Structure 1
Amino acid sequence: MEINFIPWNVNPEIANIMGISLRYYGILFAGGIFLSIFVLKSIFKNENIPLDKLDTLIIYGVLGIFVGARLGHCLFYEPSYYLSHPWEIILPISFVPDGGIKFIGYQGLASHGGALGLIIALFFYSRATTQSMINTVDLIAVVAALSGAFIRIANLMNSEIIGSPTTKPWGFIFERVDNVPRHPAQLYEAICYFLIFAVMIRLYKTKRAKLRNGFLFGLLLVLIFTARFIIEFFKENQVGFEDSMTLNMGQLLSLPYILIGLAFMVYGLIKTKRDKQRDELLITQD
């Protein structure tokens, strides 16, 4: 039986305007963040949090995600290259042999680093606004997977983070890479993230009173990084040194997040239960 695979040869660049490249990746990356902010605005209103706090959160959050994701890729996956080309960590340019400068964009963002960068940024946001950090991470957890889904679609448009070879009829042939049918791992991950977002928004709307004190944040970490751990089995390794590893770098970096997520879930349940008992006791005493 002949299997018709899906050819994929999308040009990552939409247009080039005066030497500035307009790419699907940038549009989808920004679009995912803006859509998440739109949903988060409704959540802030529901929580009776002033919207000026959201404006501050956006600044801290976007910077934390981008800086963390960029540093995560450079230091986790290609440290030797970027330590010898440190300007490329910060600047989207490369110096060519003839003495000129080439715009290359930010080629490499790691989700693990982005998650860590966001957490660090939220610590400083909490200090600057006196907002509860643990409550803030719970609210961001509701929408975070939405941005992740858009980023994985952006990876698909770039024909990057490709899957391992497959004979399944839904295999993609990433013609910009080779002619081998491969798992569309980017789509697998994007679909998982959309489903996780649906679960998180549903839980927030129906169980918010019971799921507080870091539970939603912990649940997000467990769901996101469990999905990431599993899907890594269907991906090609991103860098050569991973070929000799039983678990690749993405999987190893996912394990601490899963454990931290479980700890937050347990803490959230215990703390919420104790708070409820305390409130009931105060009512009884009154």
Structure 2
Amino acid sequence: MLPYPQIDPVAVALGPLQIHWYGLMYLIGIGAAWWMASRRLADFDPTWTKEKLSDLVFWEAMGVILGGRLGYALFYDFSAYIADPTKLFRIWEGGMSFHGGFIGVMLATLWFGKRNNKSFFQLMDLIAPMVPIGLGAGRIGNFINGELWGKVSDVPWAMVFPTGGPLPRHPSQLYQFALEGVALFVILWLYSRKPRPTMAISGMFALWYGIFRFIVEFVRVPDAQLGYLAFGWLTMGQVLCLPMILGGIGLMIFAYRKKAPLQGATQ
């Protein structure tokens, strides 16, 4: 068993103002994604400036935050938010959904693309390789908060979480950091180093995120208000990942059969 590192969730406290590590992880993820995207901006569109990219990143970040919050309310705790709609604004209490944020990003991409003469998948292929940076940072934030832990386990790296009872558990946040953050970033970054048919990079993201998240859900404890949806093991996260896996496969097949215009770096 490994000791859980007791890290104060509050990174900086200035009187009544508190800056939490979880919030900083969002800022780090967004900033790093912007920097990485700027390195490939010339391959995407030589006429685009970094200011244009900043606009895109801003609206995508809004999609993540608003979509993530609304998605959690809709997918994971609908009755509680209906009973008290003000919970939507109490973000310090937690409650974000990746799948809701993903929908928010897609809507922001569609809107931004129409305003800037870019197709939905042109923009999605640009940002997809950067998304794992934010995902990985967010999972580190979950770990620092001691939330979203896994099932009780006797593996050598199991940890006792402050809010998880006295028994050691899988550090599922770190599994997700390794898979959704590091592994997914490496897969997408290497895959997008060569020009690919439009939609293929987006398809690769959807496919592998869905697979990685589906796997980790087997050892991650589901939200208490939902529990398992069926069979004693099926979670809401897995249900929401199935369309991503199937959609990712479909996008890649369609992209290569259609021989769509190439996207990605040219080095």
| Distance in 2 separating the partners of 1:259 and 1:106 | 33
2:192 is aligned with 1:198: no
Query: Which whole-Å deviations, capped at 9, do the CAs of 1:29-51 have from their partners, x for residues lacking one?
Result: 11011101100111112322412
8 A contact 2:150–2:221 mirrored in 1: yes
Contact 1:53/1:129 (<8 A) preserved? no
What's the secondary structure of 2:156's corresponding residue? coil
Cα distance in 1 for partners of 2:114, 2:71 equals 24
SS of 2:11 mapped into structure 1:
strand
In the alignment, the residues of structure 2 paired with residue 244 and residue 116 of structure 1 have an alpha-carbon distance, to the nearest angstrom, of 22
SS in 1 for 2:40: helix
Offset at 1:59? 2.2
Distance of 2:60 and 2:246 partners within structure 1: 23
Structure 1 stretches of 4+ with a deviation exceeding 6 A read none
Conservation of the 8 A alpha-carbon contact between 1:9 and 1:176: no
CA contact (8 A) 1:185 1:235 kept: yes
**2:8 is matched with which residue?**
11
Matching of residues 83-98 of structure 1 within 5 Å: 83-89=82-88, 91-92=89-90
Tell whether the 8 Å contact from 1:138 to 1:212 is kept in structure 2 after alignment: no
| Structure 1 residues 161-181: Cα deviation after superposition (integer angstroms, max 9, x where no partner) | 101011011011112432211
Answer yes or no: is 1:23 the counterpart of 2:16: no
Q: Percent same amino acid at aligned positions?
A: 26
Q: Which runs of 5+ in 1 are unaligned?
A: 93-103, 277-286
The one of 6, 16, 34 equivalent to 2:31 is 34
What code does the residue aligned with 2:34 have? I
Shift of residue 82 of structure 1?
1.0
2:131 corresponding residue in structure 1? 144
Q: Following the alignment from structure 2 to structure 1, what is the Cα–Cα distance between the partners of residues 84 and 246?
A: 34
Deviations 1:60-88 (A, max 9, x none): 20111111111111111111111122122
Q: CA RMSD in A?
A: 1.7
Whole-angstrom distance in 2 between the partners of 1:239 and 1:126: 39
Tell me which residue corresponds to 2:71. 72
CA contact (8 A) 2:71 2:101 kept: yes
Contact 1:162–1:185 under 8 Å retained in 2 = yes
Counterparts in 2 of 1:215 and 1:244: CA distance versus 1, 3 Å: closer
Q: Does the CA-based 8 Å contact 1:15-1:23 persist in structure 2?
A: yes
- TM-score, normalisation: structure 1: 0.85
Q: 1:50 aligns with which of 48, 51, 54?
A: 48
The separation in 2 between residues aligned to 1:56 and 1:106, in whole angstroms, is 29
Q: State how far apart, in whole Å, the 2-side matches of 1:5 and 1:142 are.
A: 32
Please say if 1:175 is aligned against 2:172.
no
Tell whether 2:216 aligns with 1:228: no
Matched, 1:245 2:230: yes
Counting matched residue pairs gives 257
| Cα offsets for 1:253-279 (capped at 9, x unmatched) | 110111111111111112226x69xxx
Give the Cα separation in 2 of the matches to 1:263 and 1:6.
Answer: 43
